[in-house]
Chain A
């Protein structure tokens, strides 16, 4: 009987396991996770779960019966410590498990601050796992002072929750604007204004020099020379693909576990999918940190593990919730040379073009723009920029 082992029980791992069964795989499936919880959704962690609006059991991606009914052996709370690709075995706890095929869906880990600048002080939190949020949540109380380090989506979502809960929020971003890595200045401007209106003190082009405290963080020294008194800090400085296991097993890594177009790694019988995997895209490699990529790549890899022959071609999309704004993004804006703005009533969308070619859209409370853009991008169509900018033109007509 053939045995497929999946290391990493997050969104990608659970999607991969489910897809193997849906596609008729009849052998054994073992899904191993180092966290104690069964596979769960991460996006609500920095939003409704942190706000206390979503109970823990509603985060779980599947009921327990889902795994038993489909004969998926779920082993949580035990990290895999070693893979031996030649012997096709892996070690976790005291056990050695043999596999016929292995999928790595190890996800990513938050970047941490070095100890030299106070990174080992108590009162520092990251936003990645259930355990992270369970530790952070008791800190989020009215009147407390929080420093958020990093103005990406995680930092901004955390800032929104903290501001909503009545905390005194300061956010520093080392780059000259928030969201610099992922969005155009127009989108940064929109979210800066949104956060400022909710009382968040955003300081751009300002880095953290060091955190100071006697065991517990008490102050933050910033690169502009100012010092802040704080009660705690949230580090939202990006995530790194979790490649530790792959690297020690001698599997090729290049900004993530390097796969071919089908999700195969450099080791025979070992595959990778989701946040941890970088795959060929055009003339370069791409690694995406998102739920849709975790699901879609995992499902593609599952099919290929069972003898399929499908290239993974992502159709990237993302979302973020901050205050009463839902941001939905379709496409990847890399290489854009202009941004076309479409303004509606209470909605707004930013359309990224390279010449006449549409690359991506940031839609703020504008689900129609998002959905139209998603369909257009999937079809390889680019609407006329002048029509996009004209709010009197129904977006649906652009799809014809």
Chain B
């Protein structure tokens, strides 16, 4: 279980507990948090679950696979260091305290 803070682009914060084994995307979906669309449902086939990870968390997350890296390159205003696709981040206890921020829009 990890407590994750999702910050909408307008600044609204949502702090929720997400079970291990779920993805960060599913944590938003199952708690009705807006700003993460995930049209493909987590197949890494679109880029609509894009977030910016808080700077102090960038190094603590599992590394990006090539597929995620390439998709992110075409997301809305990607940040090479902080952008991630939330469907590719599996929740573990180590993610307790994670903070992610949604972009202005998902494309």
Which residues does chain A contribute within 8 Å of B41, judged by CB atoms?
41, 43-44, 61, 291
- Complex CA gap A69/B30 in Å reads 12
Asked if B22 and A58 make an inter-chain contact with CB atoms under 8 angstroms apart, the answer reads yes
- Complex CA gap A326/B71 in Å reads 12
Stretch of B5-13, B43-51, B54-62 lying at the A interface? B43-51
Min CB–CB distance B39 → chain A (angstroms): 6
Which residues does chain A contribute within 8 Å of B40, judged by CB atoms?
43, 291, 319
Asked if A65 and B32 make an inter-chain contact with CB atoms under 8 angstroms apart, the answer reads yes
Asked if B71 and A367 make an inter-chain contact with CB atoms under 8 angstroms apart, the answer reads yes
Min CB–CB distance A154 → chain B (angstroms): 15
Which residues does chain B contribute within 8 Å of A328, judged by CB atoms?
45
Asked if A371 and B67 make an inter-chain contact with CB atoms under 8 angstroms apart, the answer reads no
A285 beta carbon closer than 8 Å to chain B: no
Min CB–CB distance B106 → chain A (angstroms): 12
- Complex CA gap A295/B40 in Å reads 10
Given contacts A62-B32, A63-B31, A319-B45, contact A291 B71 (CB under 8 A): no
Given contacts A65-B32, A295-B39, contact A58 B26 (CB under 8 A): yes
A368 beta carbon closer than 8 Å to chain B: yes
Asked if B39 and A291 make an inter-chain contact with CB atoms under 8 angstroms apart, the answer reads yes
Asked if B43 and A321 make an inter-chain contact with CB atoms under 8 angstroms apart, the answer reads yes
- Complex CA gap A66/B47 in Å reads 23
- Complex CA gap A62/B37 in Å reads 11
Which residues does chain A contribute within 8 Å of B39, judged by CB atoms?
291-292, 295
Interface residues, chain A, with chain B CB atoms under 8 Å away: 41, 43-44, 58, 61-63, 65-66, 69, 291-292, 295, 317, 319, 321, 326, 328, 365, 367-368, 371-372, 374-375, 396
Give 19 A-B pairs besides A41-B41, A63-B30, A319-B43 with Cβ atoms closer than 8 angstroms. Answer: A61-B29, A62-B30, A62-B32, A63-B31, A63-B32, A66-B32, A69-B32, A291-B39, A292-B39, A292-B46, A295-B39, A326-B43, A326-B44, A365-B67, A367-B71, A368-B74, A371-B70, A371-B71, A374-B74
